Amino acid sequence: MRIGIVAYEGCFATEVFAVSDFLRIANHVARDNGTAAGALFRTSVVAASPEPVTVAGGFTIEARPWRHGFDLLVVPGFELTPATDLDVRLADRSREIDFLRTAGRRGTRIASVCVGAFLLGEAGLLDERRCTTSWLFASTLARRYPQSTVCAESLIVTDDRITTTAAFTASLDLATTIVRDHLGADVARTAARITLVSENRTSQAPYVVESMVETTAGPFAIAVQRWLVDHLTEPYSLARLADAFHVSTRTVLRRYADEAGSSPLHFLREARVGAAKRLLTDTDVPIGEIPRRVGYQDPGTLRRLFLERVGMGLGDYRREFRTR
């Protein structure tokens, strides 16, 4: 299988070499298992020109001039912060975007890591497809490419020939998936265990820091959200919320939906899950007391909601993310 990893100015070198190195280890495992040499991965780092590529941090890496004919192209992410001018950053990547657009038209399978998804979006490869990226930039991706369906909590999404992944270390989840699809589950499992890579991650929901998620809500919705957070531990009452803002319950629901795209109760549930996360990781509050601390008298309600939203139980979350 011929794989080209597309290096470009400002990309993360780790996302280039994590995939390449994992596939190299998988090749060794496959040879030991008697896999035919023709089935192994042939990986190249490719770029727009033969000149060394300066990646994030100012380091340089060697790459071959790109060409078409790969079975799979992997697109790493780049250095991006909420303050970055994304238009400028993507305009600098016009050659890469054109290359990906042409490859997509030729039927080449293409995978991105983290915000590499924006390059695929600019190439039109996310239109009418499900996709993902880092939870920190999922809302930006959804706004910029409204013809796509962004699955913000998913770790890896494959839709037809296009695969997108979550942030940074998801490059290893991507590499594991590539091995599993091409060389089988046994080789993927062995390579993952050799490299200490988790085999079972499916969601980035446990890693989300709610306070860092960008909000596009309007002023009324934001005011409602602040009121709900201030009254987090109290029973939810739509009538009481409406009284606080001197409007009818119908008006609260309509104006909130117009500005936030959901309901006040949906926000309250998310806020309570976020508060439970902080109590689990940053305090010694017993797990049995946490439901009451975040507004639930019935512990089962929080347990079910937490499992649904985060993908793991309260105890598992504390063991995994507890600040030591």
CATH number for position 257? 1.10.10.60
- In this prediction, residue 322 carries a pLDDT of 84
- In this prediction, residue 34 carries a pLDDT of 84
**Where among 161, 185, 207 does a domain terminate?**
207
Instruction: Give the mean pLDDT of 159-188.
Output: 95
- In this prediction, residue 261 carries a pLDDT of 87
- In this prediction, residue 323 carries a pLDDT of 66
Looking at the structure, do residues 17 and 160 belong to the same domain, yes or no? Answer: yes
Looking at the structure, do residues 190 and 228 belong to the same domain, yes or no? Answer: no
Looking at the structure, do residues 231 and 98 belong to the same domain, yes or no? Answer: no
For the cut 70, the answer to whether the pLDDT of residue 258 exceeds it is yes
Gyration radius of the chain's alpha carbons? 23
Confidence band, pLDDT 50/70/90 cuts, at residue 213: confident
User: Regarding beta strands 53-54 and 60-61, do their DSSP bridges make them parallel or antiparallel, or are they unpaired?
Assistant: antiparallel
Give ∠ CA 150-313-263 in degrees, rounded to 5.
45
Instruction: Return mean pLDDT, the chain.
Output: 93
Q: What is the pLDDT of residues 95-117, one digit of tens each?
A: 999 999 999 999 999 999 999 99
Count structural domains, the chain.
2
Percent of the chain topping pLDDT 70: 99
For the cut 90, the answer to whether the pLDDT of residue 38 exceeds it is no
Q: Going edge to edge, which strands form the sheet with 72-75?
A: 64-65, 42-47, 2-6, 72-75, 109-112, 162-165, 156-159
Looking at the structure, do residues 70 and 93 belong to the same domain, yes or no? Answer: yes
Instruction: Give the mean pLDDT of 271-285.
Output: 93
Closest by CA to 121, choosing from 169, 159, 172, is 159
**Domain span at 298:** 215-321
State the Cα–Cα distance between residues 53 and 17, nearest whole angstrom: 14
CATH code, 122: 3.40.50.880
Looking at the structure, do residues 272 and 140 belong to the same domain, yes or no? Answer: no
Both tokens of 20, joined, read 């390449």
Question: Would you say 164 and 117 are in contact if contact means Cβ atoms under 8 Å apart?
Answer: yes
